[in-house]
Homo-oligomer: A and B are copies of this chain.
Amino acid sequence: MAVKITSAENAQVKLAASLHRAKMIRTEQLYLAEGAHLAAEALRSGVTIERAFVEEGCSAEVEILFAELERRDVPCALLPRRLVEKISEAKTPQGIVLLVRLPEEQLKLHTDGRYLLLENLQDPGNVGNILRSAESFDFDGVLLCGETAEVYTPKAVRGSMGSVFRLPTARYADGAAAACALRGAGIPLFTAELRGDSRLPDELPERGLCIAIGNEGRGITEELSALADASVEIPMSGKTESLSAPVAAAVLMWELFRRRR
């Protein structure tokens, strides 16, 4: 029952395995979605699936996905486990990996939208998690600034639980470039930081705003703080210094979502 691999398929496996690195994702305009859950989310979200790699002897769940992919004329390669392991970043690959095309449309800023700005957020799992919360609380998009981790690496895609397929994002060289774009669109910017003059979450406008979350260790840069319209602070017990970046982002977005209901 050994599957015969063509040299074209071998080249595709090599390409796929290179997409763990942010640089290759941008060069190839392709990224990976691993596992049955993300594959199902990709199918439902209408992203462009270029190719699927399926492990031979896969589970019934993966077989159903496989059939659906073939029905949609997605080229599928049946691979032995060792090749799926080569592509997959997960410790225990789940039998299916999709090659997805980066979206052509980028985030458009609307005066009455709700946006999140991430400044130098390093951890790809955190970035993915924040996208998941942003979609859960009906935000319209995420501005990724400076050294913020690539959202299309396997770890970020997994952390987003599929929100990366649907929530628009845009890249900016740094926080200042994003602040400039927001100003152009008439959207006020609020930095999440302890600045002395910080507002409380319920003093934020309900819509037409952008909330900025800083680096996990260093927070918001002075440059971005100076460009913000105001800062916002989540009240706490005083026993800890701060909340984690994904928790601070989620609590602020929940506050706006809660008030609209």
Contacts and interface: CB of A to CB of B under 8 A. Distances in A.
A133 B246 contact: no
Interface stretch (A58-66, A183-191, A236-244): A236-244
A161 B136 CA distance: 27
Interface stretch (A12-20, A203-211, A247-255): A247-255
Interface residues of A, number: 30
Given A133-B247, A247-B247, A161 B241 contact: yes
A138 interface: yes
A257 interface: yes
Number of copies: 2
B244 A132 contact: yes
A237 B129 contact: no
Interface in A220-239: 234-237, 239
Contact of A129 (B135, B161, B244): B244
Interface in A167-223: none
Nearest to A166: B239
Interface of A: 129, 132-133, 135-138, 159, 161-163, 166, 234-237, 239-244, 246-247, 250-251, 254, 257-258, 261
